[in-house]
Structure 1
Amino acid sequence: MNHIVLGYDGSDFAMQALDWALDEAELRKLPLTVFHAWQWPYGEADEEAKAHLRKAADHVLWHGADCARATSSGVQVETDLYEGSAAQRLVELSGGAALVVVGSRGLNALPRAVVGSVAGYVAAHAVCPVIIVRGPGPLPASANPGPVVVVDKEPDAAVLEFAFSEAAMHQVPVTASVDLADWSARHPGVQVQQGDAHERPTLIVVGRKRSARSGTASFLLQHAPCPVAVVTEGDS
């Protein structure tokens, strides 16, 4: 649990995720691993053809790592290039990570099953918390940052602990539909808000098991106006 893992593919969505992951790494004082996967999609191929694809993948990964190093304030940046499934490799990497960060294209016009296949799989199976970065505008910085919003009606302790920790790091309030008096006492530096959620929260936090049963996470991956954190209940 000693680093942040970023799934990076060179897209605009991945750049948003990189901004968020760097912020998390700086606030947590942890190194960042920039990850990219590639695989030959056309069946059998000679090694020369595959070598060209691998070289292109290596360039994508280099670009992500170079951007991270150029824009961070002292974060140690490492890389992981993998041949195979990006989703499965990210789940493997989550076993030793404090957090996995991935971008989501939010392809609302496509069938639900197609939307966010990598992000959805990682959110459902990762060992550690996962933040799926989506929504317009610069992330995570904002001139008027909203709260961290807990959407579970009966949130698990791990979900609340993650929400309060994120709120403390980003210096924003926490909003939930439950009484947070005990949690507020544990985190005196975090303001608690109740009532209607901010129109553009800084982060939405859901529990993995509860959201899977209700379909909340799937809905949020398509429609949330901000990044979404999926946390395994029972983890501290």
Structure 2
Amino acid sequence: MLPPVIAAVDGSAESLAAAEWAAREAVRRERPLRLVHAWNWHPHQDTEPASAAARHLARRVLRDAEDRVGRLCPGLTVHDEQVEGPATAALLQVSRGADLLVLGSRGLSGFTGFLVGSVALGVVARAGLPVVLVRAGEDAADEHLPADDGTPSTRTGYRDVVLGVDLTRPCDEVTEFAFEAARVRRARLKVVHAWQPPAPISLGPGDIGLVEGPRRGDEWEGFLTAVLQPWRDKYPEVEAVTAVTEGSAQSALIRAATGAGLVVVGRRSTARPTGPRTGPVAHSVIHHAGCPVAVVSHE
């Protein structure tokens, strides 16, 4: 069987939005969908009535989610599963070998951004597969451009997929995920790189950024064009445009996310003494972007 798209569901509005987004993504990728409910096991509540109640709740949550995605995507193959244990560890375990994992995050009422819980942050920081965060209220029309009269529509083309690229460490896994996401949507891919002038003391022989002033942006643009050329050759059907700006990567990506359908960022999987982390750019984007965010692990 093809690796599935997995959606974690707990009955909340954000998890149901994530399940619906995952169902649409599974259709686009021609993958099955797997709905997973993780319920915590507590040693002090290890009684048969407590376990039976937890399993009953899990069945109801999964059934409700399956009914929703079945109405939206009637031809989609859907499986469901309930797993025990601390939610973060259980989701990491069950998602091994999957295509991607989709989680819900509560939108901040009146503001752009996410309230990302400890489970979602823990999964994002440790997962070896792409993880997509979806806000409550996200629906199919939000992925598409508005109609000519400005109203939401699912009959129009898809909004841009935005990719953040660090040209000092370009990552094939992140870039390929973004091109593939744009391909299955027939969407435009907007590739963003932000640069900052280096301090003179930080430059060594052969370092990037030795040109002066306005020419520095042109230099970065040339590097980005060279990095993207193999991917443009591999995905000739994807229109890839570039945006090279001076400033912080976080700010550039959050601006680019306005009006986008999906933002793709990378997360280094290298072990750190302080433990797994999302990294400053991914952390900022998943808290403040106004559309779903895909975090892709890379070496």
TM over 0.5: yes
DSSP-derived class of the 2:89 partner: helix
Moved over 6 A (4+): none
Structure 1 length-normalised TM: 0.86
Q: CA deviation at 1:4?
A: 1.0
Which position in structure 2 is the counterpart of 1:189?
A: 237
The 1:83/1:135 distance shift into structure 2, 3 A limit, reads: closer
Q: Which residue is 1:148 aligned to?
A: 161
Matches within 5 A, 1:11-160: 11-39=12-40, 43-44=44-45, 46-106=47-107, 115-134=116-135, 137-139=138-140, 141-144=143-146, 145-154=158-167, 155-160=170-175
CA gap of 1:115–1:41, structure 2 versus 1, over 3 A, is: farther
% identical equivalent positions = 34
Could you say which residue in structure 2 is the equivalent of 1:228? Answer: 293
Q: Do the aligned residues in 2 keep the contact of 1:135 with 1:224 (CA within 8 Å)?
A: no
Deviation at 1:213, TM superposition (A): 6.9
Larger radius of gyration: 2
For 2:214, the equivalent position in structure 1 comes to none
Cα shift readout 1:134-156 (whole Å, capped 9, x = no counterpart) = 37542453234431111232230
Task: Note if contact 1:99-1:128 (Cα within 8 Å) is conserved in structure 2.
Answer: yes
State TM-score, norm by structure 2: 0.69
Structure 2 vs 1, CA of residues 26 and 81 (structure 1 numbering), >3 Å: closer, same or farther? same
Matched positions, count: 230
Q: Does the aligned pair in 2 maintain the 1:135–1:225 contact within 8 Å? A: no
Q: For the structure 1 residues 86 and 55, does the alpha-carbon distance in structure 2 shift closer, same or farther, using more than 3 Å as the test?
A: same
**8 Å contact from structure 2 (residues 36, 82) kept in 1:** yes
Unaligned runs of 5+ in 2: 147-157, 194-223, 244-254, 270-275
Residues 1:80 and 1:207: Cα distance change in structure 2 (over 3 Å): same
CA RMSD of aligned residues (A): 2.6
The equivalent of 1:205 in structure 2 is 264
User: Cα deviation per residue 1:108-128 (whole Å; 9 max; x = unaligned)?
Assistant: 99xxxx832121111121221
**Contact 1:136-1:225 within 8 A present in 2 as well:** no
Gaps of 5+ in 1: none
AA aligned to 2:164 is V
| Cα 1:213–1:18 shift into 2, 3 Å | closer
Look up the equivalent residue of 1:85 and give its one-letter code. Answer: P
Question: 1:18/1:173 Cα in 2 relative to 1: closer, same or farther (>3 Å)?
Answer: same
Structure 2 SS opposite 1:105:
strand
Distance in structure 2 (CA, Å) of the matches to 1:9 and 1:204: 24
| 2: CA distance, partners of 1:89 / 1:229 | 20
Q: CA deviation at 1:231?
A: 1.0
Judged with a 3 Å threshold, the aligned counterparts in structure 2 of structure 1 residues 213 and 189 are, in CA distance, closer, same or farther, namely same
TM-superposed deviation, 1:221: 2.0
Change (3 A) 1:52 1:136: closer
Shift of residue 209, structure 1, vs aligned partner = 0.7
1:129 positional shift: 1.1
1:66 deviation in Å? Answer: 2.0
CA distance in 2, matches of 1:78, 1:10: 17
- Partner of 1:194, secondary structure, is strand
Q: Could you say what secondary structure the match of 1:118 adopts?
A: helix
Mapped contact 1:204–1:228 kept (Cα < 8 A): yes
Deviation larger for 37-46 or 165-174: 37-46
In 2, the alpha carbon distance for the partners of 1:21 and 1:52 equals 27
Partner-residue secondary structure (3-state), 2:106: coil
Question: How far, CA to CA, are the matches of 2:126 and 2:50 in structure 1?
Answer: 33
